[in-house]
Amino acid sequence: MIRYTLKCDNKHNFDMWFADSATYDSLAGAGHVACPECGSNDVVKGVMAPNVAAKSDSATPGPREIMRKMTEYRATVMAETTDVGKAFSDQARDMHEGLMDYAPIRGEVTAEDVKALHEEGVPILPVPPEPPKEN
């Protein structure tokens, strides 16, 4: 059994149990999943049910927890680094080689730049993409 938190087109949230995700897909696809509050068949799957995602004390964080951490990490990176755009690769390399004072920077790189920087041992990290907005 799997529990989904569903949302109808009138923004009602409700939980429903299904045998498995395929069962949900076929029932919802056929319009057989109705909102208990307004009867709308226009429902979409929301985030996983709280009894799955709320295990914050366990070693494995749920998807919302990971999303929250990524969002925080992204916000920190954005707040504490200077965007140097396409100069990133050169500046990161110069800092690594001591040709330039260290400063926290972010910028644009190509896949080739990333590969080259890694090969030279220049420590770089990807900035996580902007997460999808929750509604």
The one among 2, 3, 5, 12 contacting Zn ion by CB under 5 A? 12
Secondary-structure breakdown of the chain: helix, strand, coil percentages, each rounded to the nearest 5: 40, 15, 45
- CB-CB contact of 88 with 108 (8 Å): yes
CA 86, distance to chain mean position in Å, is 25
Which segment (2-10, 24-32, 53-61, 88-96) binds Zn ion by CB under 5 A? 2-10
Count CB atoms within 10 A of the CB of residue 5.
16
38 binds Zn ion (CB under 5 A): yes
Which segment (7-15, 18-26, 66-74, 125-133) binds Zn ion by CB under 5 A? 7-15
Task: Please report how close the Cβ of residue 7 comes to Zn ion at its closest, in angstroms.
Answer: 8
Judged by the rule CB under 5 A, the positions of this chain that interact with Zn ion are 8, 10, 12, 35, 37-38, 40
